[in-house]
Structure 1
């Protein structure tokens, strides 16, 4: 490797000295790009498929009508056995302070067995973790709203009691 300060010196060196130029090594990315360009130049062109070619001549497709529409979601209510199981898990979480994980509850629901060895729940009674999470959220919301109503009723009762006390005291002081 030689370097020259002027282009003339390089030309003189190439003419006078018997040296050969070695092509610089290419990195893989450059090599890949050049090979890709060469392949594009030499490859045959494929015919372009038009949309009209994919549709049958009568204008109909093989797809059933409404294939892209959302399926109707089947709503079903939890049966008593499911509610009882979920309520027990919810109460256990409120007593211990450790919330039950809906995924673990769903897994336990699938494997829970009775004393005689039979499954507690049938396959069609299994619930997803999302359903269990929603049930726990609704239960908590209902519990919170009922406790808020109880607190409101207790506050109103105390207010009524203090109003009664003040009115009785004012009547007693007026008679004395």
Structure 2
């Protein structure tokens, strides 16, 4: 018999599909999409209020599974990237900064699960060329010993080429005399 106390947590196990965060993610994604296409006027105001409520419900809903945590991280990263230009609009009069809470929750879950931020891949152009990060391709001044070594290397290549050409000419002229 082991000295370790075994705790049965069958009652606490939540199946993946029953995680409450998935419903909150769906509600927020749908409310955000409806707000994006809402016409001007009262429909836009109502859609904005629903998106606001869905965001606060999303940030308050606990994750019951690791898969739910991963889904929430993915959704928050997407939403933070999409709404970066509107970050200042998420401060409310009551002092709740939904933008900061979303960033903190994403960072906290990422650290908990050991998930690093995923950098986006370069954008592919129609020509097939990739636009990667900007790289400084200007020539860098090399140190004097490096430049001298390069000069010696090129001089050796030139001497070897001249020796081959002159030797070939000499052998050709000698063969034509015979």
Report the TM-score, using the length of structure 2 for normalisation: 0.29
If each structure's helix is expressed as a fraction of its own residues, which one has the higher value?
A: 2
Query: Which structure carries more relative contact order (alpha carbon 8 Å, separation 6+)?
Result: 2
Q: Which has more radius of gyration?
A: 1
